[in-house]
Amino acid sequence: MAYAITQTCCTDATCVSVCPVNCIHPTPEEPGFATAELLHIDPVACIDCGACADACPVDAIYPVDRLAGTLAGYGELNRQYYEENPTGHEWGEPQFPRSLAGEHGTLRVAVVGTGPAAAYTVQTLLRSAGAQVTVLDRLPVAGGLLRHGVAPDHPSTKRIGDGFGRLWRHPRLRLHLNVEVGRDLASDELAAHHHAVVYAVGAGRERELGVPGEEHALPVSTFVGWYNAEPTVPADAVDLSAQRVVLIGNGNVALDVARILVTDPGQLAATDIAEHALAALRDSQVREVVLLARRGPEHAAYTRAEFLALRQLAGVSVVVDAPGAESAGGKAALLDGLARERVDWHRPPPAGRRIVLRFGAPPVALHRDGVELAGGERLPAGLVVRSIGYRGAPVPGLPFDEAAGTLAHRDGRVAPGVYVVGWAKRGPAGGIGSNRACAEQTVHALLDDAEAGLLTGPVGAAADFARLVRRRRPAATGLRELLAIDRVERARGAALGRPRVKLASVPELLAAGRRFGRG
């Protein structure tokens, strides 16, 4: 029986590299890889060896005959891919890991950030360059979007973080947490103490609608940070006292928020959702979530996998506020079989919980009590959340491309000795696994510059930089404190039958790290 790849695919292509018959596509060398929502196994060519399932870092691969429930349709999705994209599974040219010749000495490289892009970069530097790596993060905990962005009801996606977590213990790596470049250290100071610096700082700003009253919308990053215990987001940042919530946008993040709002809190209690969010959801008055899209369903930003999961939520109905709308193929076909009705927004939501999809409805103004659409239509809501995408934020001292919303670069090179990776490099596109190839490209640019003699040697020793960090940021923490926080959170979770209970503020994290990191 063949295997199939399912919803939680991270597209980092680990499975491709272990398949003995090359039956997983698209591969990193193929044109469709960069935009693939998930990879696919050819059920005809698969020899049922299970190597891909063993290697998958997010537990996304199963035998087709074991697919059930929300995963039941993925065998057919894998098969359909090969109907539309026939291939003979020919092998491409072999790819070998790059390495830096010994005569260039040991590189000292700083990586700013601890999310997936940073982790893949560190992984590549340790393996290919034999580098000594310094990692910095503005928060007292590592993980970036894996910890504070992935929805709590996606535990298998978070599992890739276990492998990344082992990187921070590497003997050639030094971790400096609760340290912000641009606040505690200038970018040129960081560069002076290393041969090279790689910025993996993500996309920290949200796109704006540009309509009157935008201040009445809650940024989706606040909502996501709230339910993920992001320590800079207050526990009372979200009010769930209204019956209707409107989400402007229909990307995967918007779907995450909608799903969390209507999922039975009893199910969420088995995840690592923030304690304050779980308590608020238990008392929530929300019965209806409206996903408001500015364009038609064929242009939807969500992935097929995430939308299929949304359709299968227990006890939740999904309706389209577009009676008579016909499928136009592509993503619009995902709406086939859903109920269609014209919703009377001035009536309270019906009993039960439901998600309403409204397409082709760009807001023209936001108000305290809802959204105004073209033609004067009003959509009352007690909470409006804006979720229309992200942009990068400038790093003091580095060039920034305002049009692209990224650090200005060429193939990851900002300048010899300064590099960028992840969303700060390519914009907010691609899943976790997309950062693997992105990191390899950036590290290749760094190694090219090292071999060309373009990197400037650092001032002083690594210990001198550590002393500079302690002097500038006495509250800085490191690996010992990080491990202590992990132990505390897991112990709190075990007491409640949960995987972990996160510490939800910077003071709590620092206190746990210092108290339990001694000895």
pLDDT tens, residue by residue, 187-232: 999 999 999 999 999 998 999 999 999 999 999 999 999 999 999 9
Instruction: Provide the token pair at 96.
Output: 């070998």
- Selection from 276, 241, 283 nearest residue 382 by Cα: 241
> How far apart are the C-alpha atoms of 168 and 159, rounded to whole Å?
16
Asked if pLDDT for residue 97 goes beyond 80, the answer is no
Across residues 44-69, what is the average pLDDT? 93
* Per-residue b or e along 181-210, where b marks 16 or more CB atoms closer than 10 Å to that residue's CB: bbebbebeebbbbbbbbbbbbbbeebbebe
Q: How confident is the model at residue 327 (pLDDT cuts 50, 70, 90)?
A: low
Asked if residue 130 is part of any domain, the answer here is yes
Asked if pLDDT for residue 42 goes beyond 60, the answer is yes
- The last residue of one of the domains, among 388, 408, 425, is 388
pLDDT, position 98: 76
CATH number at residue 65: 3.30.70.20
pLDDT, position 387: 96
Asked if residue 93 is part of any domain, the answer here is no
The one-letter code for the residue type at 311 is R
Asked if pLDDT for residue 93 goes beyond 80, the answer is no
Across residues 78-93, what is the average pLDDT? 89
Going by their DSSP bridges, the two strands 406-407 and 132-137 should be labelled as unpaired
Q: Which contiguous run of DSSP H or E holds residue 162?
A: helix 160-167
C-alpha dihedral, 146 to 147 to 148 to 154, nearest 10°:
70
Mean pLDDT computed over every residue of the chain: 92
Say how many domains are in the chain: 3
Report DSSP letters for 240-303, one per residue: --SSEEEEE--SHHHHHHHHHHHS-HHHHTTTT--HHHHHHHHT----EEEEE-SS-GGG--S-
Q: Do 113 and 60 sit in the same domain of this protein? A: no
- The last residue of one of the domains, among 358, 388, 418, is 388
CATH number at residue 470: 3.40.50.720
> How far apart are the C-alpha atoms of 152 and 138, rounded to whole Å?
22
pLDDT, position 102: 67
Asked if pLDDT for residue 381 goes beyond 90, the answer is yes
Q: Do 218 and 349 sit in the same domain of this protein? A: yes
Q: Do 236 and 330 sit in the same domain of this protein? A: yes
Asked if residue 482 is part of any domain, the answer here is no
CB 243 within 8 A of CB 285: yes
Asked if residue 252 is part of any domain, the answer here is yes
Across residues 71-76, what is the average pLDDT? 89
Asked if residue 481 is part of any domain, the answer here is no
Across residues 453-473, what is the average pLDDT? 95
- Provide, rounded to the nearest whole percent, the portion of the chain with pLDDT above 90: 79
Q: How confident is the model at residue 458 (pLDDT cuts 50, 70, 90)?
A: very high
Across residues 161-178, what is the average pLDDT? 93
Q: Do 113 and 178 sit in the same domain of this protein? A: yes
Q: pLDDT, tens digit, for every residue of 1-27?
A: 799 999 889 999 999 999 999 999 999
Asked if residue 453 is part of any domain, the answer here is yes
Q: How confident is the model at residue 162 (pLDDT cuts 50, 70, 90)?
A: confident
Q: pLDDT, tens digit, for every residue of 299-316?
A: 899 998 899 889 889 999
> How far apart are the C-alpha atoms of 110 and 231, rounded to whole Å?
24
Asked if pLDDT for residue 323 goes beyond 70, the answer is no
- The last residue of one of the domains, among 388, 414, 437, is 388
Q: pLDDT, tens digit, for every residue of 362-377?
A: 999 999 999 999 888 9
- Provide, rounded to the nearest whole percent, the portion of the chain with pLDDT above 70: 97
Instruction: Provide the token pair at 382.
Output: 């007690």
Query: Is 395 exposed, middle or buried (CB count within 10 Å of its CB: 0-12, 13-18, 19+)?
Result: buried
Q: pLDDT, tens digit, for every residue of 331-351?
A: 888 898 899 999 999 899 999
CATH number at residue 276: 3.50.50.60
CB 213 within 8 A of CB 206: no
Asked if pLDDT for residue 270 goes beyond 50, the answer is yes
Asked if pLDDT for residue 43 goes beyond 90, the answer is yes
> How far apart are the C-alpha atoms of 476 and 488, rounded to whole Å?
19
Q: Do 253 and 363 sit in the same domain of this protein? A: yes
Q: How confident is the model at residue 325 (pLDDT cuts 50, 70, 90)?
A: low
Asked if residue 94 is part of any domain, the answer here is no
pLDDT, position 519: 46
pLDDT, position 517: 61
Asked if pLDDT for residue 99 goes beyond 80, the answer is no
Asked if residue 496 is part of any domain, the answer here is no
Across residues 384-394, what is the average pLDDT? 94
Q: Do 343 and 380 sit in the same domain of this protein? A: yes
Q: Do 186 and 248 sit in the same domain of this protein? A: no
Q: Do 378 and 460 sit in the same domain of this protein? A: no
Q: Do 217 and 366 sit in the same domain of this protein? A: yes
Instruction: Provide the token pair at 203.
Output: 């996309």
Per DSSP, the three-state class of 448 is: helix
Give me the helix-helix angle, 220-227 and 275-282, nearest 10°: 100
Q: Do 296 and 399 sit in the same domain of this protein? A: no
Q: Do 343 and 406 sit in the same domain of this protein? A: no
Stated pTM of the model: 0.93
**Residue 143 belongs to what domain range?**
104-204+392-476
Q: Do 326 and 400 sit in the same domain of this protein? A: no
